Structure 1
Amino acid sequence: MITLYHAPQTRSMRSLWLLHEMDVPFRVHLRAFDKTLRDPDYLTLSPAGRVPALEIDGERMFETGAITQYLCERFSPDRLGRSPESPDRMAWLVWVHFSETLSQHTAALTQQHVALREDHMRSPIVMKLEAARVAKCYDAIEARLSTPIERRDYLLTSGFSAADISVGQAVYMSRFFVTLDQHPQVAAWYERITARAAFRQALPQGDGIYDRDFYAPWPVE
């Protein structure tokens, strides 16, 4: 049995979405996104006190990129993953791991807008810089979906994969801070992949990290 340790509206949503796309049994152990992630029992699963963590066959994993690669190679090497022989293998690896590039900027914005509770702790300049970096990541996805010959429906020419899940979940988080108004191909792709039943199953069933749909940037004085 696979057990996923998951906190809503965190990177572990990426692994939850992936598992819902796979035809494998699993269970979810919900964790609060708080200081209990530093409890000694949880640190045996994830030494840095982060989600996700995964237990499978008596072994433990953490880090979403590693979890994605392992699960795809084991359970879905050619549908959600891409085998080493696939022409899209290189692109698959790039985009699965690109999701972390986007997520790190979203994490910085989450810290500024949500985690730092007192206004004097927050920096409008950091907010502006990190939002601009998110927009640059959107530029990269827009370019990938818009080729000179044709527009891709998904990040890979061969179709939907875990690359779309990984980047799509990162976009789900970043949209709390930066809209897709200036990126029409990303918006169309995002609408396409989030129409999937597995995405909807991975959405929070109750409270998550965010208490609103969008956090407007602070003005720089």
Structure 2
Amino acid sequence: MIRLHHSPQTRSMRVLWLLHELDEPFEVVPHAFDKSLRAPEYLVLSPAGRVPALEIEGERMFESGAITEYLCERFSPDGLGRSPSNPERMAWLVWVHFAETLSQHCAALTQQHVALREDHMRSPIVMKLEAARIKKCYQALEDRLSPPIENRDYLLTGGFSAADISVGQAVYMARFFAKLDEFPAVRDWYARISQRPAFQASLPLPGTGIFTQDFYPPWEV
């Protein structure tokens, strides 16, 4: 049995989405996104006290990128994954891990907007810089999805993969802080992948999650 330790609207969402796409039996252990993740019993699963953590056949994993690689190699090596002999393997690895580049900017903005509860604690400069960095990531995706010859439906020519899941979840989070209006190829790609039943199944239930609103900077409103 696969057991995913999950908090809504965190990186564990990308593993939840992947598990729904794989259609393998699994169960979800819900966690609040709070100090309970530092409890000794949870630190056995994830030493840094973060989600996701994955239990599988008596072993445990943490780090969403590593979990994504393992699950794809085991259950869908040339479907949602790309095996080492696949010519798209290099690009698959790049985009699976590019999700973390985007996510780190989202994490910085989550800290500024959510974790720091008083205005005097927040830095407008940091918020502006991190929102701009998200847009630089959007531009990288726009370039990837809009090559000179023809538009791509997905990040890889061979079709939908865990690269779209990982980056798509990061874009889901980033949209709370930076709009997609200036990036039509990214906007259309995101609309396409977010219609998938597995994505919908990974969304937070009403009243759960970290975010209850968008946090667009004042100059975008």
Answer whether TM exceeds 0.5 for this pair.
yes
- Displacement of 1:217 after TM fit? 1.5
Deviation at 1:33, TM superposition (A): 0.2
Alignment of 1:77-96 (within 5 A): 77-96=77-96
CA distance in 2, matches of 1:209, 1:179: 18
Aligned partner of 1:179: which letter?
K
Moved over 4 A (4+): none
Pairing 1:37-186 to 2, within 5 Å after superposition: 37-186=37-186
Residues 2 and 25 in structure 1, CA contact (< 8 A), matched pair in contact too:
yes
SS, match of residue 55 in structure 1: strand
CA shift, 1:16, in A, is 0.1
Partner of 2:31: 31
1:86-134: per-residue Cα shift (whole Å, max 9, x none)? 1110000000000000000000011111110011000000000000000
TM-score by length of 1: 0.97
CA distance in 2, matches of 1:48, 1:20: 26
Report % sequence identity: 74
Unpaired runs of 5+ residues, structure 1, are: none
**Alignment partners' CA distance in 1, 2:176 and 2:55:** 30
| Other structure's SS at 2:19 match | helix
Corresponding letter in the other structure for 1:42: Y
Structure 2 letter corresponding to 1:44 = V
Q: CA deviation at 1:218?
A: 4.9
Query: 1:154–1:164: 8 Å Cα contact kept in structure 2?
Result: yes
Corresponding residue for residue 7 of structure 2: 7
**Alpha-carbon distance in 2 for matches of 1:114, 1:205:** 19
**Count of residue correspondences:** 218
Matched residue type, 2:94: V
